[in-house]
Structure 1
Amino acid sequence: MTAPRCTHTVEGWNGVSLYVPEYGNANGIPVILVHGWSQAHQSWARQFSGPLADHCRLIVPDLRGHGLSDKPADAEAYNNSAPWAGDLHAIIETLGLERPLLIGWSMGGWVVQDYLRVHGDGNISGFSLIGSSGSTGRYSPVAALGQRENDTAVRASDMYEEELGANLAATLAFLKACFATLPDADDLAIMTGFNMLCPPHVRLAARKRHEDYGPDLAKTSVPALVQWGIHERLAVSPMPEKTVEALPNGRAIKYTDSGHAPFWEETEAFNADLLTFAQTCYAKDSHL
């Protein structure tokens, strides 16, 4: 595994301690990579080297309740926009990031949209939502909700349980559902390990939200991407398509050989797309 270039401890919303490692070029374009539900910063391991890392300063926090960050007990620390938005704002301010890009995978895309809801897009250069959606819970498209509810691995009910055997089995099944082509056994073992750092109470409060981000996306003016694999089992159609439609400056990129994690399954293409997007955003950004 690639070691971080440096690490930070950032005081997030309501005093929560956040573990924030950095990779890549210290003088490069600042990019915050926001992992998904029950994951950790190592989800982005395939972005930590190569041309993307050569040109970008990659800030890769463990979200509250995940990885090596603090894990408050109260549901209110996870079930609304304020904590997530406050944490991203604290990272930007503490590290002195000048108009970074926000890149959110799955639930991490909700976190990016929480930031947009609370703080707007005036201090960022662009954002991307990967395998994510502009609505959650009861606001999601009915057809997508039905498909997800009928997929036991995606529903992942036992990931909310304290009983370890059922929890582990559900976590492994959920991870397998994220990929069209499974990672090798060692990578899957590592992923299962860092997923188990997220306690059941965090998983429940963070995922069971009801949010309509459409009005927040409609207010954005910076460039935006919506990226997804055509073999999705989580952000299923028409979730990504409707998200693109909500964006004034949005563009879709589909990956033909990927499921929920194109940054892992089609790493070279994804990294090239993200680097081009980052460079384009900075070239267009009149503040820089």
Structure 2
Amino acid sequence: MTKRPAPFATHLISGYGGCPISVAEYGTPDGPPILFVHGWSQAHLSFARQFTSPALAGFRMVGFDLRGHGASGKPTDPEAYAGSAPWGGDIAAVIEALSLSRPLLLGWSMGGKALCDYLALHGDAALSGTAMIGTGPTSGKYIPPEARELRMADPDVLAKGMLSEVLAENLSATEAFLHACFHQQPAAEDFAAMMGFNMMCPPEIRGQTRQRHADYRPAARATQHPCLVVWGAHERVMPKPIFDECADEFAHAEAHVFEHSGHAPFWEEPERFNALLAAFATRLFGGAST
């Protein structure tokens, strides 16, 4: 079982439109900042293996629960999830509230779309760099056609039951979706924790947050700082055409394939991932983490 991370600080800040955003900080308070953005139906604890990593302990690691997820506010108005303003606005609010100086912004899966929402609104001038993990610069109808075909053929990835109000159906679909996220499956205790925080995202909000159509390629091309692009060779949720597009569209991309991972390389191959992220971040911050 993975060690549960212990934050050195927690916050409840006001995000876009006043939505309460739950934030936790790990690592070293005065270290170079890395801001982690989790995926659809998940929570910031998806990154437990980073928050407890000795390789990353010298950084100020900030995780927050996206609106509608985890311990953050769950507005019911569909407008609270529409367009780039809510998602990019929440990231900007976390950066401002915690006075994060030129953070490395990391997004996994749908968190990468939120990262791109931030870029579409603000660019990357206030960042040191970005990291796109199992994600890409398009969503919905804009993703590469080959990727759409693969996703549509995988019912566990489509996870239609996760939008159901029928609890048994919802639980079954959530369990199948989580298994689809991993090539190397989590231990039973870790999988149980993941099920717990996934079920904190209500079915209605799951639907509102997944059905988005956006083309962030212009924002990716306009970036001025390096982008770490990571993809698992056994990926089902974000097939390879999405990875290829991400590596091609970000102006200063550094692409890596994790041969023994699925959708969550940071969990499945944590030692390699943490070493890679630490080295990338150290270069960005000029060696200030050690």
Quickly name the TM-score band, shorter chain normalised: over 0.9
Q: Which amino acid aligns with 2:133?
A: I
| Structure 1 residue aligned with 2:224 | 221
- The residue correspondences of 1:71-220 to structure 2 (distance < 5 A) are 71-220=74-223
In the alignment, the residues of structure 2 paired with residue 259 and residue 79 of structure 1 have an alpha-carbon distance, to the nearest angstrom, of 29
For residues 31-74 of structure 1, give each alpha carbon's deviation from its aligned partner in whole angstroms, at most 9, with x where no partner exists: 00111000001101101123343211000001110000000001
The 1:174–1:207 alpha-carbon spacing in structure 2 relative to 1, beyond 3 Å, is: same
Q: Which amino acid aligns with 1:256?
A: E
Q: Which amino acid aligns with 1:120?
A: G
Measured on the aligned residues, the alpha-carbon RMSD in Å equals 1.2
In the alignment, the residues of structure 1 paired with residue 64 and residue 9 of structure 2 have an alpha-carbon distance, to the nearest angstrom, of 12
> What is the TM-score of this pair, normalised by structure 2?
0.96
Q: Note the C-alpha offset of 1:2.
A: 2.1
In the alignment, the residues of structure 2 paired with residue 213 and residue 284 of structure 1 have an alpha-carbon distance, to the nearest angstrom, of 31
For residues 92-138 of structure 1, give each alpha carbon's deviation from its aligned partner in whole angstroms, at most 9, with x where no partner exists: 01111100010000000001000000011110000001000111111
Q: Is this contact kept in 2: 1:25–1:53, CA < 8 A?
A: no
Q: Is this contact kept in 2: 1:75–1:201, CA < 8 A?
A: no
Q: Which residue of 218, 232, 235 maps to 2:238?
A: 235
> What is the TM-score of this pair, normalised by structure 1?
0.97
Q: Which amino acid aligns with 1:101?
A: L
Q: Is this contact kept in 2: 1:231–1:259, CA < 8 A?
A: yes
In the alignment, the residues of structure 1 paired with residue 225 and residue 233 of structure 2 have an alpha-carbon distance, to the nearest angstrom, of 26
Q: Could you say what secondary structure the match of 2:99 adopts?
A: coil
Q: Which amino acid aligns with 2:43?
A: A
Q: Which amino acid aligns with 1:46?
A: R
In the alignment, the residues of structure 1 paired with residue 215 and residue 241 of structure 2 have an alpha-carbon distance, to the nearest angstrom, of 15
Q: Note the C-alpha offset of 1:3.
A: 1.8
In the alignment, the residues of structure 2 paired with residue 284 and residue 194 of structure 1 have an alpha-carbon distance, to the nearest angstrom, of 35
Task: Give the gaps of 5 or more residues in structure 1.
Answer: none
1:253 counterpart = 2:227: no
- Structure 1 runs (4+) deviating above 4 angstroms are none
In the alignment, the residues of structure 1 paired with residue 241 and residue 215 of structure 2 have an alpha-carbon distance, to the nearest angstrom, of 15
In the alignment, the residues of structure 2 paired with residue 79 and residue 130 of structure 1 have an alpha-carbon distance, to the nearest angstrom, of 23
Q: Is this contact kept in 2: 1:35–1:108, CA < 8 A?
A: yes
Q: Which residue of 34, 47, 52 maps to 1:49?
A: 52
Q: Is this contact kept in 2: 1:43–1:191, CA < 8 A?
A: yes
In the alignment, the residues of structure 1 paired with residue 267 and residue 186 of structure 2 have an alpha-carbon distance, to the nearest angstrom, of 9
In the alignment, the residues of structure 2 paired with residue 94 and residue 222 of structure 1 have an alpha-carbon distance, to the nearest angstrom, of 23
Q: Is this contact kept in 2: 1:79–1:208, CA < 8 A?
A: no
Q: Note the C-alpha offset of 1:284.
A: 9.2
Q: Give the number of aligned pairs.
A: 285
Q: Is this contact kept in 1: 2:56–2:274, CA < 8 A?
A: no
In the alignment, the residues of structure 2 paired with residue 233 and residue 64 of structure 1 have an alpha-carbon distance, to the nearest angstrom, of 25
Q: Could you say what secondary structure the match of 1:63 adopts?
A: coil
Q: Note the C-alpha offset of 1:202.
A: 1.2
Report sequence identity in percent: 48
